[in-house]
Amino acid sequence: MLKFKLYTFAILLSIITSKSYAQFFEIYQAVDVEKYQGKNFILEGKIFYMDDITNSSWAVLGARSINADGKQLKQTFYNDNASDYFKKNEWSAYELSGKIEKGAKYLATSIAISGNDSYYLDDFKLFIKDGKNKIEIPLKNGDFETNTILNWQSMGLDKNTSLALSKEKAYSGAQSLFIDNSVFVYR
């Protein structure tokens, strides 16, 4: 319980201070999960760091349950420690497991970014655990192969950060999403 409280405090502190010390933003997609309320889910994604991970520059997966009125049911939760997943100079496989809240109409699956680094994202998938089975719930353009990112929304994105589809690096398929946050200026 203490670990959870410290983790929650750290996330809140990073969000509150993000405008003055570092950028914190999310790229997300809401998925209809109403018929899976109370079930466990697994969110998977691949992230390639252009530079080393640091305490002030990292990426993690996140999820929040949202009701039919668009209200968040509980606090967003994230991977505990980005460095547990980080692999230098290669694609890092991230996984986030959780439970869809009772009363949830949507699950907002996200990638949270902090600091001024650049990343490639690819191969994002959502699964619902049903007994011993895993049911894939398709994310729209979760593989970034369609030439649009309109299905992905952003929250807290700085005007100097750019999101673009790229053929320079891909975990699977021909392209990935490139996040260029290298020109972000600390305030």
Contacts of 33 (CB under 8 A, 6+ apart): 41, 65, 100, 104, 105, 106, 107, 128, 137
pLDDT value of position 175: 97
Distance between CA 160 and CA 150 in Å, rounded? 19
User: Which pLDDT band, with edges at 50, 70 and 90, does 96 fall under?
Assistant: very high
Q: Is the pLDDT of residue 56 over 60?
A: yes
User: Which pLDDT band, with edges at 50, 70 and 90, does 3 fall under?
Assistant: very low
| Residue 128 forms part of a structural domain | yes
Collapsing DSSP to helix, strand or coil, 8 comes out as helix
The conformation of residue 186, written as its DSSP 8-state character, comes to -
| Residue 18 forms part of a structural domain | no
Distance between CA 178 and CA 163 in Å, rounded? 6
pLDDT value of position 172: 96
Q: Is the pLDDT of residue 161 over 90?
A: no
| Residue 10 forms part of a structural domain | no
Is the Cβ–Cβ distance between 28 and 109 less than 8 Å? yes
| Residue 59 forms part of a structural domain | yes
| Residue 16 forms part of a structural domain | no
Distance between CA 9 and CA 19 in Å, rounded? 17
Distance between CA 182 and CA 187 in Å, rounded? 14
The widest CA-to-CA distance across the chain, in whole angstroms, is: 49
Distance between CA 74 and CA 135 in Å, rounded? 24
| Residue 17 forms part of a structural domain | no
| pLDDT greater at residue 121 or residue 182 | 121
| Residue 15 forms part of a structural domain | no
| Residue 85 forms part of a structural domain | yes
**Mean pLDDT for the stretch of residues 160-187:** 86
* Tally of domains within the chain: 1
Domain span including residue 84: 27-180
Average pLDDT value for the chain: 86
| Beta-strand pair 133-137/77-78 | unpaired
Q: What is the CATH number of the domain that holds 170?
A: 2.60.120
